Structure 1
Amino acid sequence: MFRSLAKFVLAVGAVLPLAGQAQDVPSIKLGYAKCAHCTPLSLTPQHAANVKLEAIGFNTGNDVLTALLSKSIDVAQVTYLHYATALDKGFDVVAISGQVNGGSQILVSNDLPIKENDWASLKKVIAEYKAAGKPFRVAASRGNAQDIHMRGAFAKQGIDVNKDVQFINIPNPSDHVQALRRGEVELICSVDPFATQIRQLGAAKFFTFPYDQAAGKLTNLIVTRSDVIASKPKAVEETVRSIVKVNDLMSTDKPLFVDTIQKVTGLDKAIATSAVENLYPDYRMYRAPAVAIGAMMRDLKYIGSDVSAQIEKNMDYRFLEAATGKPKSALGY
């Protein structure tokens, strides 16, 4: 009996240090939206080391930001627009990495005489609607990158979103296709893969990629809070390292990118394959364009204050530098 007890004590003693070591591995909850360029983040847990990383999908970027601010998650994939908006409202957000850019398309109703990439034809139709006393309805998911891409592109062409057209907010991008089918809007700026789905289903026709504005193709940004950085700096670094690894995979393995979009969104291969052509993996954080985006958002009255100083101050390049071995001057600073 004593020998059995001794063996049990020895066995427990051997296991306890391992349990203690397991507890020493920090954990991070990473939230991302279920759009095409966000889906690669679902692969980060399997490419993470020295951190217990959990990737959680949300319907929209707004939902992800809310989860971060409520401390339900530790790290969030949002957009440059979310970043500027959060800073304008005084929230504690710190940008730590880029991710994937692009993914925006402006689509118009099939029966409108609007030609691809022809802004003159769009403005002519808008003028005709105004003359007839009808609202020309344009839609996006307010608060996402596509919304600001559309507004910026419109402003550059002399179209006032608040006066010349009627803006319709459709929060969930997966609902965009039905809004077009029901004739609830004349134009929509949607996100891939849903934009590609709309085109392939024939629910609308392509007008343009809305990248001719201050934000360019910039879309996704990875952010966290200062308390997470203070309490888990190494875990944040390892999270960024996993994002960099996955980004490199997406850049070299398009079939994997397509497969990942399919798994997360449930859309078919043809849609995912086409969507990938409008996506640009890039883990850099672009400081000067981020400031320009903030200025554009203020001009468009999307935010109420000048957040230029906060945008620069709250971009922390330490984790990208550690993950890539590159100086911040090579990472978008």
Structure 2
Amino acid sequence: MPMRRFIAPLLVAAAALMPLAGQAQDAIKLGYAKCAHCTPLALTPQNANPANVKLEATGFNTGNDVLTALLSKSIDVAQVTYLHYATALDKGFDVVAISGQINGGSQILVGNDLPVGENDWAGLKKLIADYKAQGKPFRVAASRGNAQDIHMRGAFAKQGIDINKDVQFINIPNPSDHVQALRRGEVELICSVDPFATQIREVKAAKFFTYPYDQAAGKLTNLIVTRSDVIASKPKAVEETVRAIVKVNELMEKDKGLFIDTIQKVTGLDKAIATGAAANLYPDYRIHRASAVAIAQMMRDLKYINTDVTAAVQKNIDYRFLEAATGKPKSQLGD
């Protein structure tokens, strides 16, 4: 009897520890950037089934920071951009696209005093030529490595503006610093990401020029990626993570107020800015294979990447998790 009394508590303790081991195996760390269209990912843990995954979501300053965390194995799943995806493949890194997320969020803004109206590309080209004739650099800025950078470069190229010869590119890594660069007169034009782009307009640090979606990338921005070792070791947890992303996307489409509140809560910006930013965002969990290839081709044409990664872009898209989460075939998920 004394022995039984001793063993029983041990069995109870052992049983209590067993689920903890399972939870550790099924844990997923998700990283996202603190841009407007990325912020809904903060809601994924509460919309994931805890029986299938222990999901943790962490915000980073930029998409580059998120990609670095994924490659260093600090996180398991990352919200990046189609641009980051192609860049990582160009460098030979192990990344696999598993879901889309939210697109849009790009704005080109120009200095308040510049004689250029909305969508006036002819006026902008003339102004750039005038600067060149006067021996002054026409300075354009973006955060190198994010979707807005490639949107701007693609839009410029389509309009016949050579970003390497006609203008001077300024890299401002953290989008939250864009507003001060404009206020200090350090750049003439900037392509920024929401909600910071809308913030710039709200505080009148610059004026709206255009949405830079007339290029190969279109409105495509965010992509969810992971590594092949995560897929191999935690397939069910990856599936549940994608399921949570799809669920949150559907919530954002149905409830614009929730979208606005989420932007406001994560970024700390006021409601007017969050509201303006949400108007330029498009929830879309599909992975657009053909457009991803076009983006990779455009990036090589712009000398943004050094190799032809179009085959790798297609090979490293895994639709299995989206298919499981949505019940749709990959032909309806962007393939």
TM-score over 0.5 for the pair? yes
In structure 2, C-alpha distance between the alignment counterparts of 1:299 and 1:222, rounded to whole Å:
25
1:158 is the counterpart of 2:160: yes
Matches within 5 A, 1:215-254: 215-254=217-256
**2:54 is matched with which residue?**
52
**1:23 is matched with which residue?**
21
Deviations 1:19-56, CA, capped at 9 Å, x for gaps: 31232131011000000000000110111111011101
- 1:190 paired residue among 189, 192, 197: 192
1:322 is the counterpart of 2:324: yes
Q: CA deviation at 1:138?
A: 0.1
In structure 2, C-alpha distance between the alignment counterparts of 1:151 and 1:8, rounded to whole Å:
71
Deviations 1:71-98, CA, capped at 9 Å, x for gaps: 1110000000000000001000000000
The amino acid of 1:212's aligned partner reads D
In structure 1, C-alpha distance between the alignment counterparts of 2:5 and 2:197, rounded to whole Å:
64
In structure 2, C-alpha distance between the alignment counterparts of 1:172 and 1:265, rounded to whole Å:
13
Runs of 4 or more off by more than 6 Å in structure 1?
A: none
In structure 1, C-alpha distance between the alignment counterparts of 2:275 and 2:222, rounded to whole Å:
20
Other structure's SS at 2:44 match: helix
**1:273 is matched with which residue?**
275
Other structure's SS at 1:107 match: strand
Other structure's SS at 2:265 match: helix
Other structure's SS at 2:201 match: helix
In structure 1, C-alpha distance between the alignment counterparts of 2:239 and 2:46, rounded to whole Å:
16
In structure 1, C-alpha distance between the alignment counterparts of 2:155 and 2:69, rounded to whole Å:
30
In structure 2, C-alpha distance between the alignment counterparts of 1:10 and 1:261, rounded to whole Å:
51
1:13 is the counterpart of 2:34: no
Structure 1: unaligned runs, 5 residues or longer: none
Structure 2: unaligned runs, 5 residues or longer: none
**1:32 is matched with which residue?**
32
In structure 2, C-alpha distance between the alignment counterparts of 1:117 and 1:241, rounded to whole Å:
39
Q: Give me the CA root mean square deviation.
A: 1.2
Other structure's SS at 1:111 match: coil
- TM normalised by structure 2 equals 0.97
- 1:296 paired residue among 295, 298, 315: 298
- TM normalised by structure 1 equals 0.97
- 2:68 paired residue among 30, 46, 66: 66
- 1:331 paired residue among 325, 329, 333: 333
In structure 1, C-alpha distance between the alignment counterparts of 2:149 and 2:6, rounded to whole Å:
63
In structure 2, C-alpha distance between the alignment counterparts of 1:329 and 1:175, rounded to whole Å:
41
Identity of aligned residues (%): 81
